[in-house]
């Protein structure tokens, strides 16, 4: 008995014991339904021996009529079988759904900062339905085989006991071979379901950081890892199929060999005194009753049975640990050509840029002209949905304009193949991407050449990450993204960007989950870092700290300093609200109007 079976058996007994009445009704309907099994062979033998071969056609027809009536009665009894099946199966599914939801909510309440478990989707939908359908199939085939086998054996004994000597040995050998495959198939089924959950978890993690992955030029490495997880699931499916082939061999031994032996020994049986009707009745028991029931039983136990055991074990115990989402080791490839940039940072130029999300959609940006000088600190402000994130995606090369041209360091922003864009620019979106691994690996993700511990400490201190690093246990401490808050993830992403060699940094509300003091510290670190800085602001104080401010207002754009925009832009005056430019730059003095609408 496997560990999973031993763990689930007491629960199964309690579940069935609470439904004794349903089981008795199901057994009664099954007994009535299987009456035609006994008469299927016995009635045929009597119709042949006592009727047609004896010259009594009427007697033969009566026996055939009785057999047909038993088939009709069995069909009517099937309605009661399925009614009892629903009363047994649906409570199981409902209980599993409640258990999965309750466990997920308990984990969410206990660890509110932990990211959502993507594998819950697989457990709540796919796996609970697998359990329901597998349990229903098992109940149907198990009771069918038991009552069919009982009727067939009773019929063979009634016709001629020696028939059992031909039927039972190969039947027993096939069943033993089949039972020997159950444990390996359960292991393969468990591996397949684990691969399915790994796939859901992997794609959930990639989806959260998709923009960051593209911005960092890590599409190929991320795709390679995704293909690896897909291949793992395909490999598990192939192994499961191999054991299914062994199950087919067992079916042939238990179901087909008795028929062959009966046909080969038929002349000998007739010489021993068996009637033709008895031989034909035995053949009917094998082909019409035992073989179909055995085929269904083996398919159900070999696939649905092992699948049900594995799924119930996973649904009623704690979820499996999530696989590492760390990017795979970098493969050896030609080094990407370096894009030179001025020492103070690259110039960013947009010329008549127009962009819309679809041919018939209204442009988000229309004929936008903008130049960001090398080393300049530009802040982009505007109402929610006005196109601020679209602008950073265009500058990063993630989107292509419908019209116009975008250049960074004098080159088209859409880099040719073979060019590593992370060497020129780094984009940190609002949803920061952090992977499983060490803190050092996360921070050096954009530094393939590595960096000293002193450089790590300097960058961490600059963006305000140092306290978190100490709490986690240092740069070499393992990092579980699910245990981090959104603000902590942003700090790690900011530290990664600060260490990046890219001279152009794009922060798209990358500090929105930080408190005002932490946001000010991080933005000042990037303002003091050599290079060009473009920030999509979340608070008005971010704009006050910039060299220039770009205000997006529909299709119009106005650029200038804080004082200039207070005079020239009604929208900027409205966004600034009651903030006083001469007041000390202390975040606690800000009013509610000093935060941009989101």
pLDDT computed for residue 343 by the predictor: 59
How far apart, in Å, are the Cα atoms of 568 and each of 211, 365, 459, 562?
34, 20, 38, 10
Domains of the chain and CATH, by start = 3-315 (1.20.1560.10), 374-395+416-594 (3.40.50.300)
pLDDT computed for residue 308 by the predictor: 66
| Nearest residue to 351 via CA among 370, 373, 372 | 370
DSSP label at 47? Answer: I
Give CA–CA dist 405/349, Å, rounded: 8
Give CA–CA dist 520/412, Å, rounded: 32
pLDDT computed for residue 189 by the predictor: 75
| Nearest residue to 535 via CA among 419, 437, 389, 436 | 389
| Nearest residue to 535 via CA among 459, 433, 463, 428 | 428
Give CA–CA dist 217/397, Å, rounded: 10
pLDDT computed for residue 468 by the predictor: 92
pLDDT in tens, the chain (598 residues): 455 556 666 767 777 777 788 778 777 777 777 766 777 777 888 888 888 888 888 888 998 888 888 778 777 777 777 777 777 777 777 777 777 777 777 766 666 555 555 566 666 667 777 777 777 777 777 777 777 777 787 888 888 888 888 888 888 888 888 888 877 877 887 788 788 878 888 887 777 667 667 766 677 888 888 888 899 889 888 888 888 788 788 878 887 888 888 889 888 888 888 888 888 888 888 887 777 877 777 766 656 655 666 666 666 665 444 444 444 444 444 444 444 555 577 899 999 999 988 877 888 888 899 999 999 999 998 888 888 888 998 998 888 898 899 999 888 887 654 566 778 888 888 888 888 889 999 899 888 788 899 999 999 999 999 999 999 999 999 888 888 888 899 999 999 999 988 899 999 888 888 888 998 999 899 989 999 999 998 777 888 888 999 998 876 788 998 888 888 888 888 877 744 444 444 433 333 334 444 3
* Cβ neighbours for 298, distance < 8 A, ≥ 6 positions apart: 178, 247, 250, 251, 254
Question: CB of 53 within 8 A of CB of 62?
Answer: no
pLDDT computed for residue 409 by the predictor: 87
91 by Cβ neighbours in 10 Å (0-12 / 13-18 / 19+) ranks as middle
How far apart, in Å, are the Cα atoms of 352 and each of 402, 407, 565?
10, 12, 22
Query: What does residue 576 show for φ and ψ, rounded to 5 degrees?
Result: -65, -30
Give CA–CA dist 188/310, Å, rounded: 10
Three-state SS at 306? helix
């Amino acid at each position: 008995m496997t560990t999973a079976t031993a763990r689930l058996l007491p629960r199964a007994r309690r579940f069935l014991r609470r439904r004794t009445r349903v089981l008795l009704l199901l057994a009664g309907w099954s007994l009535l339904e299987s009456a035609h099994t006994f008469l299927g062979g016995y009635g045929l033998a009597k119709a042949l021996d006592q009727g047609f071969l004896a010259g009594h056609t009427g007697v033969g027809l009566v026996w055939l009529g009785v057999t047909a009536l038993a088939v009709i009665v069995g069909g009517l009894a099937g309605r009661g079988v399925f009614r009892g099946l629903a009363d047994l199966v649906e409570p199981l599914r409902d209980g599993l759904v409640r258990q999965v939801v309750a466990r997920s909510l308990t984990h969410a309440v206990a660890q509110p900062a932990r990211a959502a478990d993507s594998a819950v989707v697989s457990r709540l939908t796919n796996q609970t339905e697998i359990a329901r359908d597998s349990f229903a199939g098992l109940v149907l085939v198990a009771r069918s085989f038991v009552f069919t086998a009982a009727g067939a054996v009773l019929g063979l004994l009634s016709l001629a006991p020696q028939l059992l000597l031909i039927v039972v040995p190969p039947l027993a050998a096939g069943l033993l071979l089949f039972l020997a495959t159950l444990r390996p198939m359960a292991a393969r089924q468990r591996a397949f379901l684990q691969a399915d959950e790994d796939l859901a978890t992997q794609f959930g993690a990639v989806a959260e950081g998709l923009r960051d992955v593209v911005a960092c030029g890590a599409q190929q490495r991320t795709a390679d890892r995704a293909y690896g997880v897909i291949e793992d699931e395909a490999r598990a499916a192939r192994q499961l199929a191999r054991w299914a082939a062994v199950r087919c061999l067992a079916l042939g031994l238990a179901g087909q060999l008795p028929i062959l032996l009966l046909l080969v020994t038929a002349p000998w049986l007739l010489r021993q005194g068996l009637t033709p009707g008895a031989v034909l009745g035995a053949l009917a028991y094998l082909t019409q009753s035992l073989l179909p029931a055995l085929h269904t039983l083996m398919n159900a136990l070999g696939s649905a049975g092992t699948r049900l055991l594995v799924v119930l074990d996973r649904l009623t115990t704690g979820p499996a640990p999530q696989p590492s989402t760390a990017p795979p080791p970098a493969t050896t490839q030609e080094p990407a050509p370096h894009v030179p940039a001025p020492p103070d940072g690259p110039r960013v130029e947009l010329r008549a840029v127009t962009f819309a999300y679809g041919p018939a959609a209204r442009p988000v940006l229309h004929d936008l002209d903008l130049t960001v000088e090398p080393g300049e600190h530009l802040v982009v402000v505007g109402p929610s949905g006005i196109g601020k994130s679209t602008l950073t995606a265009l500058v990063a090369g993630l989107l292509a304009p419908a019209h116009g041209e975008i250049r960074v360091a004098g080159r088209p922003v859409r880099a040719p193949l073979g060019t590593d864009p992370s060497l020129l620019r780094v984009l940190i979106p609002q949803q920061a991407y952090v992977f499983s691994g060490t803190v050092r690996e996360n921070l050096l993700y954009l530094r393939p050449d590595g960096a000293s511990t002193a450089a790590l400490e300097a960058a961490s201190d600059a963006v305000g990450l140092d306290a978190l690093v100490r709490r986690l246990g240092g740069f070499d401490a393992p990092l579980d993204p699910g245990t981090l808050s959104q603000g902590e993830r942003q700090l790690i992403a900011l530290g990664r960007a600060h260490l990046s060699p890219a001279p152009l940094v794009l922060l798209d509300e990358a500090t929105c989950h930080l408190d005002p003091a932490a946001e000010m510290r991080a933005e000042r670190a990037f303002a003091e870092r050599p290079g060009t800085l473009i920030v999509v602001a979340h608070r008005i104080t971010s704009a006050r700290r910039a060299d220039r401010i770009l205000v997006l207002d529909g299709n119009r754009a106005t650029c200038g300093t804080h004082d200039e925009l207070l005079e020239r832009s009604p929208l900027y005056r409205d966004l600034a609200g009651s903030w006083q430019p001469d007041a000390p730059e202390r975040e606690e003095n800000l009013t509610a109007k000093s935060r941009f609408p989101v």
